[in-house]
Amino acid sequence: MATDHNFFERVYLVVKQVPAGRVTTYGAIARYLGAAKSARMVGWALNGSKRLENVPAQRVVNRMGMLTGKHHFSGTSAMQQLLEEEGIKVKDNLIQDFKKVFWDPNEELENMDE
DNA sequence: GCTCTGACGCCTA
DNA sequence: CTAGGCGCCAGAG
């Protein structure tokens, strides 16, 4: 394992590897990290990542593709706006064509050397 | 050192 | 089908 200590950093790395125009879910990341049942931790980790511009937390949504964490962003629709600029359609905190923009680290990502 | 909360997810009633 | 509760792990008080 490359990363190591912090569950946080692992989440950051995965999120940072999410290509623009795509989104992933807390559960997907959690499962990729080996903590499928700890999706909450992923969201929590993002809490610390939100202050890092290297981590596009806006591309991380819940299982339904809903922008649950938008409230944590600077404004009220900052998250939604960012996603729309990437080409992702968002309607009332809900990502349109979520299935199409969904990026699963378990399938797209194979290893996390760094 | 113990307790509660927290950007979720899945199971059971 | 919908609604509610429990589980998980870790940080902060």
Nucleotides of C under 7 A from a protein CB: 7-11
- In-domain check, residue A86: yes
A111 within some domain: no
Residues 40-59 of A with CB under 7 A from strand B: 40-44, 46-47, 49-50, 57-58
Q: Which nucleotide is nearest to A35 (CA to C1')?
A: C8
Q: Which nucleotide is nearest to A7 (CA to C1')?
A: C10
| Interior/surface letters A7-16, b for 16+ CB within 10 angstroms, e for the rest | bbbbbbbbbe
Radius of gyration for the alpha carbons in chain A, expressed in angstroms and rounded: 13
pLDDT digits (tens, 9 = 90+) for A65-83: 999 999 899 888 899 999 9
Classify residue A52: in a domain, yes or no.
yes
Contact A112, A2 (CB under 8 A): yes
pLDDT for A110 beyond 80: no
pTM, entire model: 0.89
Burial class (CB within 10 angstroms; exposed 0-12, middle 13-18, buried 19+) of A91: exposed
Give a yes or no: residue A107 inside a domain.
Answer: no
Q: Which two tokens stand for residue A42?
A: 């992923």
Tell me if A38 is assigned to some domain: yes
> For chain A, what is the domain count?
1
Q: What is the pLDDT of residues A26-67, one digit of tens each?
A: 999 999 988 888 899 999 999 988 888 889 999 999 999 999
Structure tokens at A113: 């050397």
Q: Write the CATH number for A13.
A: 1.10.10.10
